[in-house]
Amino acid sequence: MGTQTITNETRMAAPLPARQAILAELSALVAEALRVPAADLNVNAPFLEMGADSIVLIDLLRKVGARYPVKLSVRQFFEELATLDALATFLAEQKPVAPLPPEPLTAPLPTPHPQRAPLPIAAPPIATEAAGSLERILAQQLQVVSQVISEQLAFLASSDMQTIAEADTTEVAADSAQPAPQPAPPQPAPPQPAPPQPAPIVTPFAKPQITESAATNTLTHTQQHYLHTFIARYTARTPHSKAWVQNYRPILADNRASAGFRPSIKEMLYPLVAERSQGSHLWDIDGNDYVDIAMGFGVHLFGHQPPMVVRALENQLHQGFQLGPQSSLAGQVAQLIHDLTGMERIAFNNSGTEAVMTALRLARTVTGRSKIATFAGSYHGHYDGTLAAPNPQQLDGWAAPMAPGVTHNAVADILVLPAYGDIAMLEILRAHAHELAAVVVEPVQSRRPDLQPVEFLRELRRLTHDLGILLMFDEVITGFRVHPGGAQALFGIQADLVTYGKVVGGGLPIGVVAGKASVLDALDGGMWRFGDASYPPADTTFFAGTFCKHPLTMASAHAVLTFMKEQGAELQATLNRRTAQLAATVNAFFAEEQVPIQVAHFGSLFYFRFKGNMDLFFYHLVEKGLYLWEGRTCFLSTAHSDADLEQIVQAIQNAVFDLQKGGFFTRPPR
Ligand code: PMP
């Protein structure tokens, strides 16, 4: 195993100051990853029960590996180093091999200098007698960590129970209170519109986590008892799904069947298996009826089996789904996308991931530059070249691989800027302008729908235009959902390059790359005509895909887009209003019951915002007849009736009442 067993003796033998400093640092790292105040962490609770999932553990592994002379494996976090206490003791016992520089844990500040010049950190290093020793290094780190912890606590304390709108202003207050000295910018800063939001970044893979009581892993007798009976109730409702998952686990490798694994909820940890669906409802193989609020991760804008899509597919099935010749509908689908979005040219892929991959290749081709800037908290699919995480050791944004198997080289050309919506990020972009092919944004990040930085996007549009950098909107979720023309139309901002997916395929796999002809021409050489001397004038790159423009997908997309064009923008506007109304109702209830959850929304996307681990809350929603997926992004469709909305509210209320009875939420005095 290569790891010492942690015993009480070794624990006692650990040098105390070093151990405490390590513990403080580790607590800050874990608190940051789990989005809970460090003070709420129980150092004796297993990481998994605190809410860490495998991605959080891998991140922790990387950060620990960067700071301490040890090589750990994730497996050790499941076993002998499963708690903060055990890990701190273990690290304190290690001999330092080389002094490590203190490393700021906060989001990096913009540098006015090009290239990878490190920035001054907030806290000056402390000189101690034990210069060069682990203690000195740790003392330096502790000073930085203490500052980070106090900033995080200030933020969490101020934003915890407020409405989302209020949280925006308090976050600003917390941010402006930061004492960190910053390098003077070379130019006077442009007017500062929407201020930065220092809210913790949500990565697409970070699981939402743990209630305070669960975080301590010290459930009261009432809680233990309730959890036990709830698990029995939940599993009795869904035995066929559970058996199905177990039966196929040996052969079906499925990350969704283990996502969010932790021992306390292990017996309920299985995806529901669907039997059928209709409109806003679906049924599992145990015959349970659910109001679906996952809606195919945002695909099914018109509900399940929308009649126009079913008709188009039946029709196409009779015509065949031949691959090779052109789909007779591809041109019309491109025309409809052009009509609805204003994009000049359109190309088709099979998924959002593929569309993003193609778009980046196009951007690099037409600009002749290699770097791409993205923002922390955005998700752009699972192509290696975008699986990039902010790198705390590269202070001006250069990325680190997000997951094992993604090489440093795969993300070497990605700059992940730490603070989406922060006008200060523009200075970083300016510094890298000479090498940037594109800046890619998810205009409203799906895990932070309340962050709608329109002013920032306008500034970004101006800057990228002036500097000759392509602005790319990844509208895989927002496209056709928030408005027929997506976030571009809603915000009145035109990007150079846009990716779509999900809604536009009507339930069949699709990705769309759209944008200026000058960019899309790199795909086919651009415009030429028969009967004259014209030829494809543009330089091209590689593009392919066996299933691109699949006849069934084209038929489905054609039906969806035709319907959308007929209905006009009021269709999305009405749905957006209904979603806002639902969020307001639910938020009023949460406030009344003093439940630390809020529903944030953008268009018809909504997301439960909370701190800690809310696994049990979500399991209760499922048990009350709502279907939602592990990533917890929720969507309303045009098929959701008033009765469905009422059922959603009821399920949320009943879940809260149950959790109050079980001792997981405190009941306010009546
Ligand atoms: N971009 C964004 C903004 C997304 O939300 C997603 C998927 N949710 C993707 C890209 C990847 O799309 P797909 O899952 O179809 O590959």
**Could you tell me if 523 and 600 lie in one domain?**
no
Distance 630 CA to ligand 1 centre (A): 15
Res. 669: pLDDT tops 60: yes
- Position 302 scores a pLDDT of 98
Please give the structure tokens belonging to residue 435: 């090498």
Q: Which of 19-33, 65-79, 449-463, 531-545 has the lowest mean pLDDT?
A: 65-79
Q: Which of 44-58, 108-122, 372-386, 479-493 has the lowest mean pLDDT?
A: 108-122
Task: State whether the beta carbon of 488 lies less than 6 angstroms from ligand 1.
Answer: no
Return the higher-pLDDT residue of 140 and 128.
140
Task: State whether the beta carbon of 501 lies less than 6 angstroms from ligand 1.
Answer: yes
Q: CB-based contacts of 644: which residues, under 8 Å, 6+ apart?
A: 280, 281, 291
- Position 486 scores a pLDDT of 98
Domain assignment of residue 135, yes or no: no
- Position 390 scores a pLDDT of 87
**Could you tell me if 322 and 275 lie in one domain?**
no
Q: In what order do the strands lie in the sheet with 605-610?
A: 597-602, 605-610, 633-635
**Could you tell me if 435 and 367 lie in one domain?**
yes
Q: What is the CATH number of the domain that holds 74?
A: 1.10.1200.10
Cα separation, 525 vs 531, whole angstroms = 18
Q: Which of the four pLDDT bands, split at 50, 70 and 90, describes residue 215?
A: very low
Q: Residue whose CA is closest, atom 7 of ligand 1?
A: 381
Atom of ligand 1 nearest to the CA of 509: 15
Give the residue among 212, 282, 295 at the shortest CA–CA distance from 616: 212
Q: What is the DSSP letter of 505?
A: G
Q: Residue whose CA is closest, atom 1 of ligand 1?
A: 380
- The string of pLDDT tens digits covering residues 245-262 is 999 999 999 999 998 888
Task: State whether the beta carbon of 352 lies less than 6 angstroms from ligand 1.
Answer: yes
Q: Which of the four pLDDT bands, split at 50, 70 and 90, describes residue 395?
A: low
Q: Which of the four pLDDT bands, split at 50, 70 and 90, describes residue 396?
A: low
Domain assignment of residue 41, yes or no: yes
Atom of ligand 1 nearest to the CA of 297: 8
Q: What is the CATH number of the domain that holds 407?
A: 3.40.640.10
- The string of pLDDT tens digits covering residues 139-175 is 343 343 334 333 333 333 333 322 222 222 222 222 2
- Which of 349, 357, 420, 477, when mutated, tests ligand 1's pocket best, judged by the most ligand atoms within 8 Å of its CB? 477
Boundary residue ending a domain (40, 66, 92):
92
- Which of 476, 513, 629, when mutated, tests ligand 1's pocket best, judged by the most ligand atoms within 8 Å of its CB? 476
Percent of the chain with pLDDT over 70: 77
Q: Which of the four pLDDT bands, split at 50, 70 and 90, describes residue 358?
A: very high
Q: What is the CATH number of the domain that holds 234?
A: 3.90.1150.10
Give the residue among 264, 268, 224, 263 at the shortest CA–CA distance from 242: 268
Domain assignment of residue 117, yes or no: no
Q: Where would I find the H helices in 346-485?
A: 352-367, 425-431, 454-467
- pTM for the model: 0.76
Give the residue among 403, 346, 264 at the shortest CA–CA distance from 521: 346
Res. 180: pLDDT tops 50: no
Boundary residue ending a domain (512, 541, 567):
567
Task: State whether the beta carbon of 381 lies less than 6 angstroms from ligand 1.
Answer: yes
- Position 216 scores a pLDDT of 44
**Could you tell me if 418 and 298 lie in one domain?**
no
- Position 2 scores a pLDDT of 36
- Position 72 scores a pLDDT of 79
Res. 280: pLDDT tops 70: yes
Domain assignment of residue 411, yes or no: yes
Domain assignment of residue 483, yes or no: yes
**Could you tell me if 536 and 655 lie in one domain?**
no
Res. 295: pLDDT tops 60: yes
> Averaged over 606-634, what is the pLDDT?
93
- Position 562 scores a pLDDT of 98
Q: Which of the four pLDDT bands, split at 50, 70 and 90, describes residue 95?
A: low
- Position 241 scores a pLDDT of 98
**Could you tell me if 412 and 519 lie in one domain?**
yes
Q: Which string of DSSP letters, residue by residue, matches 593-641?
A: HT-SEEEEEETTEEEEEESS--HHHHHHHHHTTEE--TT-EEE--TT--
Q: Which of 172-186, 225-239, 412-426, 525-539 has the lowest mean pLDDT?
A: 172-186
- Position 630 scores a pLDDT of 87
Task: State whether the beta carbon of 612 lies less than 6 angstroms from ligand 1.
Answer: no
Residue 258 CA to chain centroid, in angstroms? 18
Q: What is the DSSP letter of 649?
A: H
Read off φ and ψ for residue 610, nearest 5 degrees: -160, 170
Boundary residue ending a domain (533, 551, 567):
567
Place of tokens 């790199």: 522
Task: State whether the beta carbon of 589 lies less than 6 angstroms from ligand 1.
Answer: no
One-letter amino acid for residue 144 of the chain = V
**Could you tell me if 602 and 618 lie in one domain?**
yes
Residue 180 CA to chain centroid, in angstroms? 28
Q: What number of CA atoms fall less than 13 Å from residue 16's CA on the CB side?
A: 1
Place of tokens 């007929």: 566
Domain assignment of residue 505, yes or no: yes
- Position 164 scores a pLDDT of 26
Distance 54 CA to ligand 1 centre (A): 21
Atom of ligand 1 nearest to the CA of 354: 16
**Could you tell me if 39 and 60 lie in one domain?**
yes
**Could you tell me if 376 and 481 lie in one domain?**
yes
**Could you tell me if 472 and 610 lie in one domain?**
no
Q: Which string of DSSP letters, residue by residue, matches 15-72?
A: -HHHHHHHHHHHHHHHHHHHTS-GGG--TTSBHHHHT--HHHHHHHHHHHHHHSS---
Cα distances (angstroms) measured from residue 304 to each of 298, 299, 425, 639: 12, 10, 41, 8
Distance 590 CA to ligand 1 centre (A): 30
How many Cβ atoms sit within 10 Å of the Cβ of residue 118?
15
Atom of ligand 1 nearest to the CA of 351: 15
**Could you tell me if 199 and 56 lie in one domain?**
no
- Which of 202, 349, 353, 383, when mutated, tests ligand 1's pocket best, judged by the most ligand atoms within 8 Å of its CB? 353
Domain assignment of residue 197, yes or no: yes
**Could you tell me if 415 and 540 lie in one domain?**
yes
Task: State whether the beta carbon of 380 lies less than 6 angstroms from ligand 1.
Answer: yes
Percent of the chain with pLDDT over 90: 63
Give the residue among 479, 472, 551, 480 at the shortest CA–CA distance from 509: 551
The total number of residues shown for the chain amounts to 670
- Position 339 scores a pLDDT of 98
- Domain extent for 181: 154-206+306-567
- The string of pLDDT tens digits covering residues 317-330 is 999 999 999 999 99
Res. 85: pLDDT tops 70: yes
Res. 608: pLDDT tops 70: yes
- How many structural domains are present in the chain? 3
Distance 509 CA to ligand 1 centre (A): 11
Domain assignment of residue 250, yes or no: yes
Mean of per-residue pLDDT scores for the chain: 81
Per DSSP, the three-state class of 627 is strand
